Amino acid sequence: MSLKTSFARIAIAGAAAAFSVGAAFAQDYPAKPVTIIVPFAAGGPTDVAARIYGEYFSRTLGQQFVVENAAGAGGSTGTLRASRATPDGYTVFVHNVAPHVAGPALYASATYDPVKSFEPIGTLAFAAHYVVLRKDFPAKDLKEFLTFAKANPGKINYGSAGAGSATHLACVLLGQQTDISITHVPYRGTGPALNDLVAGTLDLMCDQGLNMMGQATAGTVKVLAIAQKTRFPGLSDVPTTAEAGLPGFEVSAATAMYVPAGTPAAATAKLVATMAAAYKDAGVRKRIQDLASEIPGPGQDTPAALGAFTKSEMERLTAAIKKGGVKAQ
């Protein structure tokens, strides 16, 4: 046998071995529990969406998908951790797209690249923001609130999940569009911020339905408007921002799943297929829709669509952060 022939045989045997290892991985995956890193506190919208989908993934793939909350610095602490996780398919990452892409523009410690350090799996939910007050705030509607805010610059405090979070950026936009000066109070997630709004130590939040729907229906907070074009049937007495006198104030958040770059293609493919099946599951759909949020529709329901959205949001929000002088406190 010539040297050339034996090299060729070794190469074919190597490729066959690699193929069978890959095929075995694909068949067995997931062979142990999978960690879902959520970069905000438990009980907030990112956490809630991650748990709804996590339950479906656990049930369908036969291994537990366990949420781990790694909060701090507007979500960038957990994002950095997810970007550094071993890309073996056993760490997935659920984040809100706005803080995901805004982190590096705001925090020197956020040394990940929102696009290159991750691979997109799919969007979990789109959720409109609401303008929400503590229950006993002295304003009965959005007009009265804006009049009060103009007469009391800097006196109204609003809670968010930290600088660059979706709830922060939504209130920054509210302030810019209405020319009111409101004071930011950052938390480790909107779950704890909402607790303080209910307790009355915060005045305002620009919150997602995914977070505050329970409190809104229980009447423990005052919901002034939904920042989208249509009312939500579950809160049909809450006007749209246009109806409440603030046309053009429309803000929606997207919660999405990624994996660290370099995750085996077989794992990524299984996660993507499971996500596609979750979109069709009646239980997942109902739980998301009951929280005034939407499952991605045609054109939004692929990893490629999430990848393109992540990139365009990174460009848009990085420019807005620089222009608006938004700072991490």
> Which residues form the interface with ligand MLT (CB under 6 A)?
40, 44-47, 96, 98-99, 160-161, 165-167, 189-191
Least distance from ligand MLT to the Cβ atom of residue 7, Å: 55
Which of 211/268 has CB closer to ligand MLT?
Answer: 211
Which of 106/267 has CB closer to ligand MLT?
Answer: 106
Closest residue to ligand MLT using C-beta atoms: 44
| Beta-strand pair 183-186/157-160 | parallel
Least distance from ligand MLT to the Cβ atom of residue 222, Å: 20
Residue by residue, what is the 3-state secondary structure of 155-208?
Answer: CCEEEECCCCCHHHHHHHHHHHHHCCCCEEEECCCHHHHHHHHHHCCCCEEEEE
Which of 168/270 has CB closer to ligand MLT?
Answer: 168
Tokens 């709804």 identify what position? 52
Least distance from ligand MLT to the Cβ atom of residue 106, Å: 12
Which of 99/209 has CB closer to ligand MLT?
Answer: 99
Cβ contact 41:71 at 8 Å: yes
For residue 184, list its beta bridge partners.
Answer: 158
Least distance from ligand MLT to the Cβ atom of residue 169, Å: 8
Least distance from ligand MLT to the Cβ atom of residue 29, Å: 28
Cβ contact 193:202 at 8 Å: yes
CA neighbor of 102 nearest in space, from 259, 268, 266, 253: 253
Which of 99/239 has CB closer to ligand MLT?
Answer: 99
